[in-house]
Structure 1
Amino acid sequence: MPPRLNPYISFDGDARQAMEFYQGVFGGTLELNTYGDFGGQDAGDAADRIMHGMLETAGGFTLMGADTPPGAGHRPGNNIAVSLSGDDSAELGGYWEALCAGGTVTVPLEKQMWGDVFGTCTDRFGITWLVNISGSGN
């Protein structure tokens, strides 16, 4: 398998809900492992929290996520965004609609000065998504 770059997102106790939401948006196979799966009773209150989650889609997307480890402290920031791009306007437009549900649109998905259809939104989990649909006629 060649190297790949994929986002890994930290959550503050709602990784399961977020990863299941993303599976609903993109489809694919979701694997979730809890701290309890690996730490047994030593995991304590974090036993049901997600230690590692990975969503792999038929379209080649891989998204990973987990709840912040116990004692590490969750520090959300504005230094992460996930970008989706391609030329399939129906597929990308569908992702856009699903990601925006319950979130906030910061740039509407519309034709931009560089000729592509582009938009940004922040989903209901606070993750920023950039969608770019390339090509003419979009």
Structure 2
Amino acid sequence: MTTALITYLNFRSQTREAMEFYRSVFGGQLDVASFDDFGMPVGEGEGQLTMHARLRTDDGFVLMASDVPSEMPHTSAAGFSIALTGDDEQKLEGWFEALAVDGTVEMPLDTPPWGGRYGTLVDRFGIAWMVVIAEAE
């Protein structure tokens, strides 16, 4: 048996849009199922909200997400970022630029005192990202 640590995001009603955006950035296979697909009881008009979405990318990432129906509390997690790191400068720079579209770049990609390149942003869905480009060995 294997184990994994996977990022699982929650939105109020933007999961499908967010996950399609992330697929446009990272590529891969996106699977989306609604509450109606599983016959789950939710508030009126909320059956088409996303109960479970999974994006598997060719780079080996797995990103999951779901919508939180209106009768359930939705709290935003504070104090976290999703970090993308590696030495493929072109790929990481492209992801940074794509994630920044309609978002907020907090720290542009630049050379920090420890070397390489580093930048932070909050995408248009409110998710914080760090991009760390290590110097190629």
TM-score of the pair, normalised by structure 1? 0.92
Q: Any residues of structure 2 matched to 1:1-138 within 5 Å, and which?
A: 2-39=2-39, 42-43=41-42, 44-135=44-135
**Unaligned residue ranges in structure 1 (runs of 5+):** none
**Kept after mapping to 2: 8 A contact 1:28/1:58:** yes
Q: For residue 45 of structure 2, give the secondary structure of its aligned residue in structure 1.
A: helix
May I ask how many residue pairs the two structures share in their alignment?
136
Q: What is the CA distance between 1:13 and its match in structure 2?
A: 0.4
Q: Which digits, 9 at most, give the CA deviation of each residue in 1:56-88, with x for residues without a partner?
A: 001001000010144112212323311100000
Greater mean deviation of Cα atoms: 67-76 or 25-34 = 67-76
Q: What is the CA distance between 1:2 and its match in structure 2?
A: 3.1
**Unaligned residue ranges in structure 2 (runs of 5+):** none
TM-score of the pair, normalised by structure 2? 0.92
RMSD of aligned Cα (Å) = 1.6
Q: Which digits, 9 at most, give the CA deviation of each residue in 1:22-41, with x for residues without a partner?
A: 0000000000000010116x
Q: For residue 18 of structure 2, give the secondary structure of its aligned residue in structure 1.
A: helix
AA partner of residue 126 (structure 1): G
